[in-house]
Amino acid sequence: MRRVAIAGVGMTKFGEEWTRGFRDMLIEAGTRALADCNLHGEEIDAIYVGTMAPGSLVGQEHVGALVADSMGLTPVPATRVEAACASGGVALRTGYMAVASGMHDCVVVGGVEKMTDTPGNEVASALGGAGDQEWELFMGATFPAIYALMARRHMHEYGTTEEQLASVAVKNHSNASKNKHAHFQNEITIETVMGSKYIASPLKLFDCSPITDGAAAAVLMPLEKAKKYTEQPIEIVASAQASDAIALHSRESMSALKSTQVAARKAYEMAKLSPKDIDVVEVHDCFTIAEVMAIEDLGFFKKGEGAKASYEGRTALNSEISVNTSGGLKGCGHPVGATGVKQAVEIVWQLRGKADGRQVKDCEIGMTHNVGGSGATAVVHIMRKA
Amino acid sequence: MRRVAIAGVGMTKFGEEWTRGFRDMLIEAGTRALADCNLHGEEIDAIYVGTMAPGSLVGQEHVGALVADSMGLTPVPATRVEAACASGGVALRTGYMAVASGMHDCVVVGGVEKMTDTPGNEVASALGGAGDQEWELFMGATFPAIYALMARRHMHEYGTTEEQLASVAVKNHSNASKNKHAHFQNEITIETVMGSKYIASPLKLFDCSPITDGAAAAVLMPLEKAKKYTEQPIEIVASAQASDAIALHSRESMSALKSTQVAARKAYEMAKLSPKDIDVVEVHDCFTIAEVMAIEDLGFFKKGEGAKASYEGRTALNSEISVNTSGGLKGCGHPVGATGVKQAVEIVWQLRGKADGRQVKDCEIGMTHNVGGSGATAVVHIMRKA
């Protein structure tokens, strides 16, 4: 396998895009990523696009070819990959394989979702397809409900409180306020979260990531080639993925994601690193409880101590471990298929020292953690300055 | 890159499955593929599943994890890939990359679609998502209409006749009648086709592939490893993919698929072979005109001579080039995401000499050709006895 690096990255400002379709957003993100490393379109060998539910949301499948067409890149092979909310992460991993294998020398990885401006109640039911349609969604278990069950269990087992969960949202809004690409750029307080309405108890409105439109892209090359296109190539030193039961009721634990634990273990092995080596991490905080479980399952805190650690500020910018400097899914927004790629964009910016007011000091090694559904898929990447 | 071989294959009988969901079909196909090479589940390193529109058709995304879960294979990484009707082909190609790269040593590739027993008019509109939703489907251009335009253009440019197109369906039903896995197992005549109703002139009912449920699977390994699991490993000597404009009106030609031509050229280069070396080929005959264009674009016949060649029997079993011995999409059926993998299953059976009454004599090298939408994606694989 060849060593693989990210040469260029780009993303749209995340938010509600009432006047643009997802092909517009992908073109913008892709063009920015190409410009970021002075790459011409004819040098691209393949495209991988992560998107979850364009068929249900906008009636469009075959998004790989659509992107190649829209960007004027035909006949480049273009493939969509999907693993629900981890679609962006698996797109990055597939692009990594394509370069590592020697199959392609220059791959563009994109992630996108168009979630506003879709008909009727489509978004909630489309997102429900990330879980078990027959045994969860059909019975009324939407995603806030599923994560609420996990939160209740975490509270029961470890004494986690609603205020502690709220601190995750407060921290992520604070980081997002320093990120011009974020959906939300306003700071909030514990009181904001605690005073918001319950969506699925104990999760309140401000415990939930928003419905967001957006796209992100990254250019992958063999490391030596990347050095010719950028002065700051970021090497992908680990790419790992794991699955778990798709329905929550079939899992070993309701307060941990085994898929995250397995993917993290593999990633640390592949990179010959441990949690203490990671300077900055983007984790999958679709709900506040998800970030709490993630920082435990990734090994940054002991099981059961994640919420308390968050409340104590140990995950804040330039604290023990800087978690979700982009603002995470909560603050930066969660255009489902784009999220996994956006996480990589943020880590590249951090490792380059180009993260503006949210820059992590002495930042050498970063990680991304992308979850599909309620944890049936987890993808972990580790990146470092080359 | 490592050499990659198919060690085991399996598929369901294609047809209308009113009592089974797609997870049942995938489990059956997957289990057969594992049994075919005496593989135990715990030896599997990764799963790639091709499926086009499960979100629209049955409300379920995240099919990779669903398969891993249903087959008891968690925490194996499992990813869905999609390129419309070429989803199975891109799944095979992604699995090939995963093994070639050294990332994984044992990969299961699956393809599936559940198309009957879905609500209302969903199938036609879901399939329309393979084209350009904004500029084709929304304007009323369903897939029979789009292929009808291509047929009309081919007739205009080359004098192709409806009887010649009909001969493709007759040949494919004849082959399907010798395949116990085929959706249709009845022979038909030119008169059957010519007497059937127009769906989109000049295409009649019997020019169109049916709505089918089904699944297929293949086990991929490094060649040397595969030799330990089967006495008849089939090496994948080329894997190529290309894209083209997603909307027909943006293409250079309406009577040829440039994506097929580009993918075929790359595949022949990769395998150091030419069309005359291919003994058996499964091509993408979603409509009879599609097979005609395919055998031209793949280089078996000169442009414009495909329909005449078919009418003259030059594509029949054990003629000049045996095309669609399985019965193709027309006779064997077209469960969209499964088709690209089923094509590989058929070629493996042919190269092993296990294709029953439809066996091609002295069969050494085979090819599969899978098309997404109306040609915005084409995937070509070449396989040979190892």
Digit-by-digit pLDDT tens for chain B (386 residues) are 899 999 999 999 999 999 998 889 999 999 999 999 999 999 999 999 999 999 888 889 999 999 999 999 999 999 999 999 999 999 999 999 999 999 999 999 999 999 998 765 678 888 888 999 888 988 889 999 999 999 999 999 999 999 999 999 999 999 999 999 999 999 999 999 999 999 999 999 999 999 999 999 999 999 999 999 999 999 999 999 999 999 999 999 999 999 999 999 999 999 999 999 999 999 999 999 999 999 999 999 999 999 999 999 999 999 999 999 999 999 999 999 999 999 999 999 999 999 999 999 999 999 999 999 999 999 999 999 99
- Do A149 and A170 lie in one domain? The reply is yes
Residue A129 pLDDT > 60: yes
Q: Find the helix packing angle between B162-176 and B288-297, rounded to 10°.
A: 90
| Mean pLDDT, chain B, integer | 96
Residue B94 exposure: Cα atoms within 13 Å on the Cβ side = 36
The amino acid at A14: F
- Do B142 and B103 lie in one domain? The reply is no
Selected catalytic residue, list B104, B154, B181, B334: B334
Q: Which residues on neighbouring strands pair with residue B78, listed in sequence order? A: B47
- Do B357 and B300 lie in one domain? The reply is yes
**What is the token pair recorded at A376?**
């049936």
Contacting residues for B140 by C-beta, under 8 A, at least 6 apart: none
**What ipTM was reported for this prediction?**
0.94
Is the distance from CB of A325 to CB of A280 less than 8 angstroms? yes
**What's the CA gap between B22 and B30, in Å, rounded?**
12
Contacting residues for B259 by C-beta, under 8 A, at least 6 apart: A74, A75, B242, B243, B244, B371, B375, B376, B377, B378
Percent of chain A exceeding pLDDT 70 equals 99
Q: Which of residues 305-324 of A touch B (CB under 8 A)?
A: none
Q: Which residue has the tokens 């019965």?
A: B327
Residue A266 pLDDT > 60: yes
B369 annotated active-site: no
pLDDT at B120: 57
Confidence of residue A125 (pLDDT cuts 50, 70, 90): confident
- Do B220 and B250 lie in one domain? The reply is no
pLDDT at A64: 95
**What's the CA gap between B80 and A287, in Å, rounded?**
24
- Do B65 and B132 lie in one domain? The reply is no
A334 annotated active-site: yes
Range of the domain at B44: 4-120+212-234
**A258 touches B at CB < 8 Å:** yes
Q: Which of A58, A81, A246 sits opposite B65 (nearest CB)?
A: A246
Q: Which of B1, B4, B61, B107 to mutate to test the interface with A (most CBs of A within 10 A)?
A: B61
DSSP classification of residue A360:
P
**What's the CA gap between A86 and A341, in Å, rounded?**
9
**B128 touches A at CB < 8 Å:** yes
**What is the token pair recorded at A310?**
């968050």
Confidence of residue A121 (pLDDT cuts 50, 70, 90): low
Task: Decide: pTM greater than 0.80.
Answer: yes
Cis peptide before A75 (omega within 30 of 0): yes
Confidence of residue A120 (pLDDT cuts 50, 70, 90): low
pLDDT in tens, A163-199: 999 999 999 999 999 999 999 999 999 999 999 999 9
- Do A196 and A218 lie in one domain? The reply is no
SS3 B291: helix
- Do A145 and A107 lie in one domain? The reply is no
**What is the token pair recorded at B332?**
């064997």
CATH of the domain at A308: 3.40.47.10
Number of domain units in chain B = 2
- Do A162 and A106 lie in one domain? The reply is no
- Do A196 and A109 lie in one domain? The reply is no
- Do A35 and A135 lie in one domain? The reply is no
Q: Which of B97, B241, B245 sits opposite A69 (nearest CB)?
A: B245
**What's the CA gap between B55 and A68, in Å, rounded?**
23
Q: Which of B69, B100, B373 sits opposite A103 (nearest CB)?
A: B100
Task: Find the mean pLDDT for residues A109-135.
Answer: 86
- Do A218 and A204 lie in one domain? The reply is no
- Do B306 and B375 lie in one domain? The reply is yes
